[in-house]
Structure 1
């Protein structure tokens, strides 16, 4: 299955990969993004080959002839595809095209949803997953991968959010047609976690809608101020993770900075 889109005069093609040389090129792209520590690679060339042969999802996005992104996933419980790793060149729309291809691939096989995990502290990922794709956080997973030593994670604790993308939900179908779906934040919403000068400050959670902020640049904080990065990790874990554990439902990501959580 191949999909092509023209963006800003460039032809973006997304297709499944099948050859060892293609898997090697995709691994090199992933390594260029994350700079994996030795022995800590989340995917290998051999595993991509096995997943592809067994009917899993291994796809690459090409900007002309250049591989600019890729995604690897496997079939999961609940009639789902679990997207294990996805990476792309930033700011080119490659990630969105990859996800649209992934969605079509799953629907063609009768699957209802795509799931994946992501770091809940990374603003751009939260905005992309919730506001651009319409996925919804389902479970907060503390220390999901243990301590990670790649260049992006910098030894931080690997809390993850499990996102579920209901492929035929009306808001997801609208977003796939590039129709924005604004998130509603009522006037009486309260701030459960605020960003005060770059530091996390807990607030109130005793309302029907709670806003939970995440830092502007957690990756930069890990390098420049590990103590503050750790403070954010534990504050988001306590507030956002706590709200979800108590039955709160994340309904969106507000102003590219805060989760919107409905508690009742």
Structure 2
């Protein structure tokens, strides 16, 4: 029963994200005689002037200034998309984010080519190689996770008396803030953690085959209903990102 609820909850969130909110357009206000109120006036917000991605890259500014402007544009677009949640703003953020990720991957590959062809780096090859490969993996994981929240969600199984659960919560909140994943908490009923999208009390959750310890984190596929084990016990943010990205990658490769 608990997993049926989870799938229903996840599917509801998935559908909710796809529905456009009702708007009081001038036509609607006139049709229903709503008059001139704050919600009927056509006060479309105009975004402040700011350089676009194309403006920044085509300018004659030094490379380091372009990098600073790109970082500022990325940060502004992220904050705007987080607050408004509109399709336009989300796509605007992803456009800048993907461009920066691609630049980072190109940089890492170019560094690797120099390492592979320059004897001067031979003594430090393993160090540079590890740094580059690590950067490539991180960029790849982030690129995948930023676009995955519309299909996937997380289930956090915990007990408030568990110290590792309390330490895991802020890590999950960081993940949620960064990638906009929905998180459903399931507890045995001795209290709940605040900050999760929803909490469900289930005294029998420990009997589930995927739950061997507290905390347990499970990935939910809302498009093709499935629950995928991620971790048990305390896990760091970078390891959490890696495991979730790998599970998502495995599922999407196998479905091709």
Q: What is the TM-score with the length of structure 1 in the denominator?
A: 0.25
Query: When you count strand as a share of all residues, which structure comes out higher?
Result: 1
Q: What is the TM-score with the length of structure 2 in the denominator?
A: 0.26
Query: When you count helix as a share of all residues, which structure comes out higher?
Result: 2
Pick the structure with greater CA Rg: 2
